[in-house]
Structure 1
Amino acid sequence: MSGPPETTRSLPGPPPSGRGRLARRRDQAVALGWLVVVWNLLWGEINWANLAGGLLVGGTVLVFFPLPAVSFGGRLRPVALLVFAGRFVVELVSASLHIARIAVQPGYRPRGAIIAVQLRVTTDLNLALTAEAVSLVPGTLILEVDRESGTLYLHVLDTHGPADLEVARERTLALERRIVRAVGSAAELRRVETDASEKGTRP
């Protein structure tokens, strides 16, 4: 007669290596940097007080409300990051002026629409960065993020037909492409560049 089945005990794994700890700290630094950027954009002004406040709030969020570990397998490209920042500021100002014109135009009632935009890079980091950047542009609101398929559901203000919806979709994909160019991996970069060349879209 056989005895009771043996219970398998999981042995503790090896402590994280120095490279693993370094990668974890790098990911936390990237997350903190983005939180500081978002904090300053929400205030609408970059100054020492907002930078200090962003560091304090971002550090508090990372310590007391830790997010799931998101691996950063990309590469930081300073020139592409500057291009992303410059284009983002231009789009921010343009969208703000457009919303201001709608607000002061007598008797004008803008029409809104909901569109689904499936991103090419479906990592958690790219979904978070793209969704955050899109939601900061006036006139566009993130309603839902489908993590499994990498799809963003957006509410777009002031649309007049299918052409406007296609413009909003292409604008979102162009924003994703600039983000991948700035911080994506080589494989992710090839994916978005191949898609852009096939469609013949501009960066």
Structure 2
Amino acid sequence: MSQSISYRRKLNFLQKLPLLIWLVVVWGALWQDFSAGNLIFGALIAIAVSQIFYLPPIELSGRFNVLWALTLALWFVKEVFVASFQVLFWAVFKGPTIRNAVIAVPLRSPSDLLMTAVGHVLSLIPGSLVVEVDRGCATLYVHAMHAPDPESVERVRKGIQEIEARLIHVMGTREELAMIKAEISGSPMTSYADKMRSANTPSAHSTQAEEVQ
């Protein structure tokens, strides 16, 4: 009996470990301090949060591409650098005349890990912030600076979906990676919300009913 309890505790810890590591990384990024003392303090807070509040287990894809992770890291540094100068330019030369927008961004994957990763990457890049997450249809609602027309709104949306594609290359499932490769070959992007809508159409239900019969 004690061995079974010990095994469950070990399994529970392993399920929480990716989330704990990610929380520590985010803690260091928010404080811009990756010293050992700050990371240890962040780890203690992450453990306390995971023990006090209910957190769903993180489902891993079973793959991690180191090369794409390094590429993502370099791209992220470049984006932070460029976005910082953009926000500075808007603040100095545009001021209150710029038009911001809250944009719905449907994602391809319903994975909590990927949605969280996309949200954190966005929040760490100046000029964008996730204001709400709809887990049911894998959609982020993002506040974006300087999006005055439909073209700029669509450009922001495509840019966020590109972040998701980069993260899928790093740690997405093989099925999600196949979707990205199909898009590169010319297939249109299919979001998780699109899949839900197509699954709930009358034609889909009638087809399912015919299959049951």
TM-score range relative to shorter protein: 0.7 to 0.9
| SS of residue paired to 1:117 | strand
> Among residues 130, 134, 145, which one is paired with 1:142 in the alignment?
130
2:87 aligned partner: 99
Q: 1:39: Cα distance to partner?
A: 0.7
> Among residues 45, 58, 63, which one is paired with 1:57 in the alignment?
45
Q: Which moved more, 1:142-151 or 1:101-110?
A: 101-110
Larger-gyration structure (1/2): 1
Q: 1:200 to 1:105 in 2, by over 3 A?
A: same
Aligned length in residues: 186
1:168 aligns with 2:156: yes
Identical aligned pairs, as a percentage?
Answer: 33
Structure 2, unaligned runs of 5 or more: 190-213
How far apart, in 1, do the equivalents of 2:186 and 2:6 lie?
A: 42
How far apart, in 2, do the equivalents of 1:131 and 1:64 lie?
A: 23
Report the residue type matching 1:42 in the other structure.
L
1:28 aligned partner: 16
Q: 1:24 to 1:180 in 2, by over 3 A?
A: farther
Q: TM-score, normalised by structure 1?
A: 0.80
| SS of residue paired to 2:61 | coil
Contact 2:16/2:57 (CA < 8 Å) preserved in 1?
A: no
Report the residue type matching 1:77 in the other structure.
N
1:183 aligns with 2:171: yes
1:115 aligned partner: 103
How far apart, in 1, do the equivalents of 2:95 and 2:136 lie?
A: 42
Contact 1:118/1:149 (CA < 8 Å) preserved in 2?
A: yes
CA RMSD, aligned part only?
2.5
1:67 aligned partner: 55
How far apart, in 2, do the equivalents of 1:105 and 1:41 lie?
A: 29
Q: 1:107 to 1:176 in 2, by over 3 A?
A: closer
Relative to its length, the structure with more helix (as a share) is 2
Q: TM-score, normalised by structure 2?
A: 0.76
How far apart, in 2, do the equivalents of 1:193 and 1:23 lie?
A: 34
Structure 1, unaligned runs of 5 or more: 1-14
Report the residue type matching 1:62 in the other structure.
S
2:141 aligned partner: 153
Report the residue type matching 1:151 in the other structure.
T
2:198 aligned partner: none
> Among residues 47, 58, 67, which one is paired with 2:35 in the alignment?
47
Q: 1:160: Cα distance to partner?
A: 3.1
Deviations 1:105-150 (A, max 9, x none): 2755211012111111112222222122212221112122111111
1:125 aligned partner: 113
